Structure 1
Amino acid sequence: MAKRAATIVDVARAVGVSPSTVSHAISGKREISTPVKERIFEKIRELDYRPSFFAQALKRSSTGLIGVVANECRNPGAAVFIDGLAAELEKYSYRPVVGLTGLNHRKGEEMLRRFSTGLVDGVINLLPQIRPEEAQQLCGSVPVVTNIREQPVPVWLDYDKLTRDILSFLWDRGHRRIGYITSPVRMYDRADTTVGVMKAFFGERGAEFEPGWVFEGEDSIESGISGAERIMKDGEVTAIFTGNDQMAFGVYRWAYRNGVKIPDELSVVGFDDVPQAATIIPPLTTVRFPVEEIVRHTVELLVTKLNRRPLTPGRMTPEMPLVVRDSVADRTQETHNRQYVKLHGTPVEPSNRLSAMHCIAA
């Protein structure tokens, strides 16, 4: 049978002081002599007294908690982001409480409503299926910030420029057949324009673009495996870039199962730059998602709302740099040789000078 929980009255009786003195010793709001305070905390430990969280929150009119509503945290990118939020919130003496709902719209609504019943002081909405206006309506008087899309200070991530940067990087290294595994949530409620950018990029260079080079992924290792299987079966590309690092890891697994060497036979580029990207073999070339900047921006917006201050309109435009590691091969000589054969009908004559240069580069 569970023992009765100790109360503040029990502590006060054991020390020989009033309950209000115990309360002041815990809160630090009033000066209590050191000997008395030491006796109070000694009895608190001895009796295993635990102050009521809700009673304290009622007195302070604050829980000190921030609700973070996310679709999942299996993806290392999501875990890193939530970890960053916890560190940034701690600077303002807040702690996160995480609610996971998947991509189910109804569950997302329920979690936002639940958090706004007094459980937390504010809410950060990471759900791609819940728009900022809807989140505000669901949370009522509780301050809420929708990550990336919060008006009037949204974050602008230029995915069109990013796609061109990745394609240019691969094109400059001799890749002419490039596959893409999409992410269903990367662009939130914006239409994914990546395929349109790819078509324009290849068209500007007089090259063909095949629809079979694109596979609709699900942000998982499994969909990376499926995507690589389908793309390589239909298109036999020399490079694949993905909407997140998880799917890039899936391409690695497909390559391992099928005896395809990375990067010699297939180059891979990811997105997020999660910690595992630097430790997988070969280390993954990927795009670094600006976690620190966006986390700081999101928390600052929420703290501004918590302090009842108006938001200053503007737009944040962080950089998304390409982190070059070892998962992309340079096929420029191979591409040059194919073009030479196409034009002249014979292969390029071997050159001792070229061989020596290759050895030096290696």
Structure 2
Amino acid sequence: MPTQADVARHAGVSAQTVSRVVTGGARVDEPTRERVLASMRELGYRPNRAARALRSARYRSIGVIMSDLTSYGSVRTWEAISRAGAASGYAVALVPTSRFDRSAVVEAIERARDQAVDGLVIAIGDHLSAGEDLPLPDDLPVVVVDASALDDRSFVDTDQTMGAGQAVTHLLELGHETVHHVAGPVSSYSAVRREQGWRVALTAAGRTAPTLERGDWSAQSGYDAGCRLRGEPAVTAVFAANDQMALGVLRAFHEAGVAIPSQVSVVGFDDMPEAGQFWPPLTSVHQEFEQVGRAAVDVLLARIDDTAAVQRLFVPTRLVVRGSTATAPRKATS
């Protein structure tokens, strides 16, 4: 097998330079780094990770504990974290957990340790059982995604409150008297914060929040909520906590002959790729999943280098306006 010395001779650089490239050292200019990487590929050189770990006490590997691999947001977050980790020269090990209690999280952390990781990204979107705290290790760098109640730990999250406020403000500026909300499950951090943002925005505008509808993120639950809302003449604007539930709301109103958006405006959250293909195309709050994943990895690597570094980062959202929202319908006059 070729050695670092072979790569150095082939690339015309020193062995120390090859070592810096292999270990991710910053003191190598980009043209030299590319030349060394090209020599590695041509010679078939592969770094000995075990030997590097023994020398540096670093495994160049991070673990990602996730509680949900089915929702659009979770899948996009995992994809973004794995790409960002690979771009930083780290292997990324996924450690799924299907339960949301303390013992399941402890078990997942121990499974991650068995894979020899330098740190953990924990993305558990649901609250644990009542009264339980997230059992984060003190001897391993950790960054939490989507659990910003942890004020003494590093976390990265979409600014859910900001996104909900953007949706509500948009609808109120179109002249709607109030905004009805199809919320996500109470077990979800994101759903709770989006609900809070909805209430705060309405209160700030001097409006009373109507009774909300509760869904479970699925299009079916959005449809069920829409069937209940379509029977109320006062409903002219609906903010759904994700795009899938918004899709169900659209279907419910279409079936009742309620025109979207001339009679009722609908806004979703996530801005999934299919949102522009709904009918009408869905106005939605866009989440920067790529930025969240990149930030989570950057914050974790900073924690690995300095365990005292604590960062709390909210990634802003933006509203993408499409055809499902319009000026509020005029009230009938006698």
The normalised TM-score by structure 2 is: 0.71
- Equivalence for 1:67: 63
Change (3 A) 1:64 1:76: same
Partner of 1:303: 301
Structure showing greater Rg: 1
5 Å-filtered alignment, 1:40-119, equals: 62-102=58-98, 104-105=100-101, 106-119=103-116
Mapped pair 1:210 → 2:210: yes
Q: Distance in 2 between matches of 1:249 and 1:186?
A: 22
Question: Which fold has the larger relative contact order, with Cα–Cα distance below 8 Å and residues 6 or more apart in sequence?
Answer: 2
Alpha-carbon contact 1:145-1:298 (below 8 Å) kept:
yes
Provide the rounded CA distance (Å) in 2 between the counterparts of 1:66 and 1:228.
Answer: 42
Structure 2 gap ranges (5+): 11-40
Q: Specify the alignment match of 1:349 in structure 2.
A: none
Q: Find the residue that maps to 1:66 and give its secondary structure.
A: strand
- CA offsets per residue over residues 167-193 of structure 1, 9 Å max, x none? 232122232353201123244786952
Q: 1:277 to 1:191 in 2, by over 3 A?
A: closer
Alpha carbons 1:210, 1:235 under 8 Å: kept = no
Contact 2:59 2:118 in 1 (8 A): yes
Q: CA deviation at 1:114?
A: 1.1
Distance 2:134 2:71 in 1: 25
Q: Partner residue of 1:16?
A: none
Could you tell me which of 264, 267, 270 is aligned with 1:269? 267
The alpha-carbon distance between structure 1 residues 171 and 308, as it changes in their structure 2 partners (threshold 3 A), is closer
Tell me the distance in 2 between the aligned counterparts of 1:191 and 1:279: 24
Q: Which secondary structure does the structure 1 equivalent of 2:168 belong to?
A: helix
How many residue pairs get aligned? The number is 291
Cα deviation for residue 302 of structure 1 reads 0.8
In structure 1, what is the equivalent of residue 118 of structure 2? 121
Q: Which residue does 2:184 correspond to in 1?
A: 183
- 1: distance between equivalents of 2:4 and 2:91? 22
* Contact in 2 for aligned 1:103/1:127 (Cα 8 Å): no
Amino acid at match of 1:224: G
- Distance across 2 between alignment mates of 1:287 and 1:235: 26
What is the aligned partner in structure 2 of residue 249 from structure 1? 247
1:31 aligns with 2:29: no
Q: Which residue of 1 aligns with 2:326?
A: 329
| Structure 1 residue 30 displacement after superposition | 3.9
C-alpha distance in 2, partners of 1:100/1:258?
Answer: 41
Contact 1:76 1:274 in 2 (8 A): yes
Could you tell me which of 288, 291, 294 is aligned with 2:289? 291
CA RMSD of the aligned region, Å?
A: 3.7
Deviation readout 1:10-61 (Å, 9 max, x if unpaired): xxxxxxxxxxxx4xx2xx3343899xxxxxx9xx9xxxxxx99979977875
SS of the residue corresponding to residue 124 of structure 1 reads strand
Q: Which amino acid aligns with 1:172?
A: E
What amino acid does structure 2 have at the position aligned with 1:31?
Answer: D
Q: 1:59 to 1:125 in 2, by over 3 A?
A: same
Quote the sequence identity (%): 25
CA contact (8 A) 2:161 2:193 kept: no
Structure 1, 186-195 or 159-168: larger mean CA deviation: 186-195
> Partner letter of residue 175 of structure 1?
H
